Structure 1
Amino acid sequence: MEKLKIKSIFLREEVETIHIRHLYYQIDWSDRLVGILGARGTGKTTLLLQRLKLNFPDDDAALYISLDDIYFASNSLIALVENFRLRGGKILFMDEVHKYNGWAREIKNIYDTYKDIYIVFTGSSVIDIYQQEADLSRRTVFYELTGLSFREYLRFADVYAAETIGLSDILDHHTQIALKLSKAFKPILHFEAYLDHGYYPFFKENLRTYFLRIEQVIRLIVETELRFVDGFDINNSNKVMQLLAILAENVPFKPNISKLSDKIGISRQTVTQYLHYLEKARLINLLNAAGASISTLQKPEKVYLENPNLHRAIASGEANQGSRRESFLLNQLRNAKHEVSLPATGDFLVDRRITIEVGGKAKGRKQIEGVENAFIAADDLEVGVENKIPLWLFGFLY
């Protein structure tokens, strides 16, 4: 256990606390069991270490551990907690819980047995808590850590610090808001940089290796994280990578499951399942018609890459600007917890009442003519009027 303490102290001292994610302030840290789920690369470990450093800088009552540490090859989590508690320990920050066999059952037992122990844990977004053998879902308060919004990117890049802006405010007052913000920074310039390399917080570390890091993240998700999905065959990892590469060349598009099945050599049902697995892993977004039921056996209407940075990282050719625009808007809306589906007219139906068409600054209103509550999200536009809104402004939703 002493080695774990030394690692915890070292990591605590090394982490920077200048840039802190918006989610940090939304978490109620007073709950006894907090779960933070998210895709690899979004900064879950940093969030835990920042909490440790800011609130327990010299306190033996708090400890950070990663459950893929070699320590747990010969030691149980429960035994560690008992030892930690006897020495005055109160708060455990557990990283990568899905890497530990039986993690849900042991955390449940710790929670039920030791009322004076507080746990904050992180896990992969592919984990289905409700499938775990222990009923952890009703004991845990869950949060999801997504990639950076455009607003957060501006703050992390030391360009501009702003508060979030609600969707209704953007729709109703976008001209005044855009005028104010565009006086503080050049939105088009920085928005283009964000679409290229601003979604993952590690852009701060080294831009030259940013896309190499994304490729590594993708491979780790497919080869390591997806094995925690019930029903996923790890032997098909290469086929999933092949599927992802095909999607990257064509998104957004309406998938032909039969053609995809023939191309990568797996059954149509398996292709459909793997599309849903890739969505759980936050590598793609699937869009269905409003009111349609969603299951792993249902073919999606359209497929998008989960965020615009993936276009350059995965696609072999030049990233399509139209694809990046739509990928961005769908990503920001869903990360801000808005319901998005496929409308009869337009690109996105938001919260079942707002239609949004995406395009360049010259985009006309023809496609949404006669549609109620319809707006255009226009790229390369600094300030909009009436129902034509700058696309970049939707990056302030979270």
Structure 2
Amino acid sequence: MDEKVITSLLATSRRLMSWARKFPKRRFLYDEILNIDEEYYIGIKGIRGIGKTVLLLQLAHEMERSVYFSADSTLIRPFSLHEVVKTLSELGYRNIFIDEIHRKPEWAEDLKTLYDEHEVRIFFSGSSAIDLLHSGADLSRRVVLRELPPASFREWLNIKMGLDLPRLSLEEVTSRSFDLTNMYIELHTMWKDYMEKGGVLYPVSGFYDALENSIRKVILEDISALREVSVKYETDAYRLLYLVAKSAPFEVNYSSIAKELGISKNMAIRLVEDLSKAGLVYALQPCNSVRKEPKLYLTVPLRMFFARKGFNVHLGALREEFFVNHMRWVSEPCYLKGKRGEKTADFRIGEWVIEVGGGGKSRYQRPDYMAVDGLITGKGRIPLFLFGFVY
């Protein structure tokens, strides 16, 4: 490789590692990654804007002989991933941090070769669509892959407000709701702000422009790792997200998507699966049934982003979205669906049945707990915002 290219790459690496020092707060995955056995390469996947780049730079700053670069950099476009890393290895670098690795052709094959050569250790980030088992190379025994979800309510408060709120277990939330509500009562009003501009970590200035650009890049670039993306596919994917955003829970199913978008039901299923793998949609499965269709939710704050197009968001959907987007990283939830005309609670989380609703929600469905608006506790009622502290 040309000396000027390497010099520029190293200068950029030093500048960005220095820049990352202004972010003292770390996502929860930081400590977990440091404790993974050095035998493995480490991959971090997730949607855009959740802090993957900053996390890599923070890790790089922590380790000796580290260098960072982005796989989509124009500097290294003429060179393979293997060539770049080998050159850095020859210069004495031992911890290589590669951002957006899925943007480099044949990245999986190059990782396998580099691992087998045992000269460096690689940490990399990529889109949510990365799948090691189907990457074309046998990486499952060589790489520990972790998914970094959007920032939880707790993490968002810590990062944006400089707080140091501890993680709570689900058992603590259910058993200590009165004490915890009084402890964090001043943070209750931040729930709405989180649903509007939480989860992803873009600066407040230009937030929605950055988010819109991110959504389009996910559809055009990240999903292209799964299949060819045409102009019609891009339009249909965007319209599907909009359809979910403006709908109440259970209003959207494969048939309604097909009808609204003018596509086949099979194509509707494929779109949902692709957007789920890309991290924009979460398809919540029913409890004890394979025949029912999933309930569709969006990643925070996509519902409020699309609401700017001119519709009123269904508050029940917003509450459920907050709850589900936190519970899914704790214990795989499922939704309850009774027979026609039968009233059931909303979700099962492990051994517990939980109903999500407004402050006036009753115990008609006889759930174990009710996650509700407001600050009133007792008789199984738990303020909804407390569930945002569980990861």
Q: Name the TM-score, length of structure 2 as normaliser.
A: 0.91
Conserved? CA contact 1:8–1:65, under 8 Å: yes
**What is the rounded CA distance, in whole Å, between the counterparts of 1:150 and 1:339 in structure 2?**
18
> Structure 1 unaligned runs (5+)?
none
**What is the rounded CA distance, in whole Å, between the counterparts of 2:151 and 2:225 in structure 1?**
25
Q: Is residue 146 of structure 1 aligned with residue 149 of structure 2?
A: yes
**What is the rounded CA distance, in whole Å, between the counterparts of 1:267 and 1:103 in structure 2?**
34
Conserved? CA contact 2:287–2:335, under 8 Å: yes
Match of 1:227 in 2: 224
Match of 1:104 in 2: 108
Match of 1:26 among 32, 37, 43: 32
Q: Is residue 290 of structure 1 aligned with residue 284 of structure 2?
A: no
**What is the rounded CA distance, in whole Å, between the counterparts of 1:230 and 1:75 in structure 2?**
25
**What is the rounded CA distance, in whole Å, between the counterparts of 2:249 and 2:174 in structure 1?**
25
Offset of residue 287 of structure 1: 1.7
The equivalences for 1:204-243 within 5 A come to 205=203, 207-230=204-227, 235-243=232-240
1:62 alignment partner AA: S
1:286 alignment partner AA: A
**What is the rounded CA distance, in whole Å, between the counterparts of 2:162 and 2:191 in structure 1?**
11
Match of 1:359 in 2: 357
Structure 1 residues 122 and 55: alpha-carbon distance in aligned structure 2, compared to 1, 3 A threshold = same
State the SS of the aligned residue for 1:224: helix
**What is the rounded CA distance, in whole Å, between the counterparts of 1:33 and 1:288 in structure 2?**
32
Q: Deviations over 1:21-47 (max 9, x none)?
A: 111112125533001011111110110
Match of 1:380 in 2: 374
Conserved? CA contact 1:312–1:318, under 8 Å: no
**What is the rounded CA distance, in whole Å, between the counterparts of 1:146 and 1:236 in structure 2?**
25
Q: Is residue 82 of structure 1 aligned with residue 105 of structure 2?
A: no
Offset of residue 326 of structure 1: 0.4
Q: Name the TM-score, length of structure 1 as normaliser.
A: 0.89
Q: Is residue 191 of structure 1 aligned with residue 197 of structure 2?
A: no
Match of 2:184 in 1: 181
Measured on the aligned residues, the alpha-carbon RMSD in Å equals 1.9
Conserved? CA contact 1:272–1:299, under 8 Å: no
> Structure 2 unaligned runs (5+)?
1-5, 338-343
1:125 alignment partner AA: S
Conserved? CA contact 1:149–1:332, under 8 Å: yes
State the SS of the aligned residue for 1:104: helix
**What is the rounded CA distance, in whole Å, between the counterparts of 1:160 and 1:80 in structure 2?**
40
State the SS of the aligned residue for 1:26: helix
Q: Is residue 347 of structure 1 aligned with residue 341 of structure 2?
A: no
**What is the rounded CA distance, in whole Å, between the counterparts of 1:17 and 1:55 in structure 2?**
17
Q: Which moved more, 1:164-173 or 1:28-37?
A: 28-37
The equivalences for 1:14-93 within 5 A come to 14-15=19-20, 16-27=22-33, 28=35, 30-31=37-38, 32-56=40-64, 61-93=65-97
Match of 2:389 among 385, 389, 396: 396
**What is the rounded CA distance, in whole Å, between the counterparts of 2:352 and 2:292 in structure 1?**
24
Q: Deviations over 1:60-107 (max 9, x none)?
A: x21101111123321121122222112111010011111111101110
**What is the rounded CA distance, in whole Å, between the counterparts of 2:241 and 2:180 in structure 1?**
38
Q: Which moved more, 1:137-146 or 1:25-34?
A: 25-34
State the SS of the aligned residue for 1:6: helix
Q: How many residues align?
A: 375
